[in-house]
Amino acid sequence: MLRVDRLRHVYLKGTPMEHTALIDVSFDLAPGECVAVVGVSGSGKSTLSRIVAGLLAPTGGKVWLDGRDLTAPPTLGAWGRRFKAFVRWLLGVFDPRRWLARRHWTLQRSTRPPRPAPTPPSRPVMLAFQNPEDQFFTTCVMEEIAVGLVPILPPGVGGNGVSIRELLAAPPPAVLEALRLVELDPARYGARDPFTLSGGEQRRLALAVLLARRPRVLVLDEPSAGLDDPGRARLYACIERVRREQQTAVLIVSHDLEEVAAIAERVIVLADGRVAAAGQTAQILADAPLLQRAGLAAPPLVRLHQELATRGFALGGEWLDVEAAAAALVPALPRSAPGKGAANA
Ligand SMILES: Nc1ncnc2c1ncn2[C@@H]1O[C@H](COP(=O)(O)OP(=O)(O)OP(=O)(O)O)[C@@H](O)[C@H]1O
Ligand SMILES: [Mg+2]
């Protein structure tokens, strides 16, 4: 579905401050798949995510989504649409009917029957910056999601000239669906000020704002930074639901390898802007020398697994979470241990 092909990016090209941030980065992302990009600070993770999300034009290489080139500069078609819109606006300015009707503008607008709400067109790639809740700018949860839909909703729907009371009385289906996906009950949270939500709820609301546009690919920069364990678990469950129900592909940028172990199926290791390694999560996270070369430390459970092996306890399994580690460890423990512990207590 998404194909990143030999991406290359040079900041401030041709100046003394020229810096090459990405060199020949290539990978694929399938529908519903979760891939993590890991690397130390300055390895090029955010540059990559901004290019994939279409916020930065790469110096070289392409990003394809279902055969469509997302990095292509605006085509003649796009310019044609802009020109047509400009001509429409110009004709409107000089249209005498408009000036005659202007005195009754409010009346006319309120009596015009509302156009049916179109299905929101999918925005192909959506990027959540780190701490996306810092960018909330409305005073109501429903409105925060609806304003993102304004360009695609008809006039008078979803914050487009509509009062918050009207919005709460008849929320657009896309808003309700986004709230469901992130487990925020519209009746309980819909009218709240986003800044009164807990940290975990704010992070999930920020995700809902993106989900309302029905992206094919979600790019998340350090999605769980600053959350406590229950907050993380809930966010991961929401990401999992979006992948399963909507087949949305997820690209996670992180340097927290525990997070990567919890949600990603594949890992791409970036070092100095190059792909140092790529493979299944268990395989990459178990490769301590590789991670060390990239400046990263394996998650504590993987390190414990390796430490036990060096001390002569070669236990199988992929130690990516506590349950998997316990399943591998328990058969190797003496059977009498729990009873003894209880007797001593
Ligand atoms: N606008 C810019 N102009 C010049 N250099 C830049 C610019 N943005 C980023 N860089 C440089 O490009 C390199 C990669 O930056 P990037 O932000 O992609 O790193 P990162 O892996 O996301 O780091 P972190 O984990 O700290 O967020 C860094 O050396 C950075 O200084
Ligand atoms: Mg970054």
What are the boundaries of each domain within the chain? 2-99+120-296, 299-345
Which residue puts its alpha carbon closest to atom 18 of ligand 1? Answer: 44
Average pLDDT rounded to a whole number, residues 226-239: 90
Report pTM: 0.79
CA separation for the pair 248, 68 (Å, rounded): 17
Is the pLDDT score of 103 beyond 70? no
Question: Which backbone phi and psi does 9 adopt, to 5 degrees?
Answer: -140, 130
Give the three-class secondary structure for 222. coil
Is the pLDDT score of 114 beyond 50? no
Q: Which of 229, 218, 217, 289 is nearest to 256 (CA)?
A: 229
- Asked if 28 contacts 64 with a C-beta cutoff of 8 angstroms, the reply is no
CB atoms within 10 A of CB 266: 19
The separation between CA 46 and the C-alpha centre of its own chain, rounded to angstroms, equals: 12
Cβ contacts of 241 within 8 Å, gap of 6 or more:
181
- pLDDT value, residue 75: 60
Q: Which of 275, 253, 250 is nearest to 265 (CA)?
A: 250
Higher pLDDT, 252 or 310: 252
**Whole-Å CA distances, 114 to 82, 104, 155, 157:** 26, 18, 8, 9
Is the pLDDT score of 107 beyond 90? no
Return the ∠ at Cα 162 (arms to 110 and 115), rounded to 5°.
Answer: 55
Average pLDDT rounded to a whole number, residues 180-204: 91
Percent of the chain with pLDDT over 90: 35
Q: Which two tokens stand for residue 9?
A: 């990016």
> For ligand 1, what atom is nearest to the CA of residue 44?
18
Residues surrounding ion ligand 2 at CB below 5 Å: 46
Average pLDDT rounded to a whole number, residues 142-157: 67
CA separation for the pair 325, 321 (Å, rounded): 6
Asked if the 2-99+120-296 domain carries CATH number 3.40.50.300, the reply is yes
CA separation for the pair 345, 342 (Å, rounded): 5
Distance 151 CA to ligand 2 centre (A): 29
Ligand number nearest CA of 50 is 1
Is the pLDDT score of 92 beyond 80? no
Alpha helices in 170-317 (DSSP H): 173-181, 186-189, 199-211, 229-246, 257-263, 281-285, 288-293, 300-310
Q: Which of 12, 38, 41, 220 to probe ligand 1 with, by most ligand atoms within 8 A of CB?
A: 41
- pLDDT value, residue 106: 46
- pLDDT value, residue 74: 58
For residue 308, with 0-12 CB atoms within 10 Å meaning exposed, 13-18 middle and 19 or more buried, which class applies? middle
Q: Which two tokens stand for residue 226?
A: 């600053």
Distance 60 CA to ligand 1 centre (A): 17
Average pLDDT rounded to a whole number, residues 243-265: 90
Question: Which backbone phi and psi does 16 adopt, to 5 degrees?
Answer: -65, -20
Ligand number nearest CA of 221 is 2
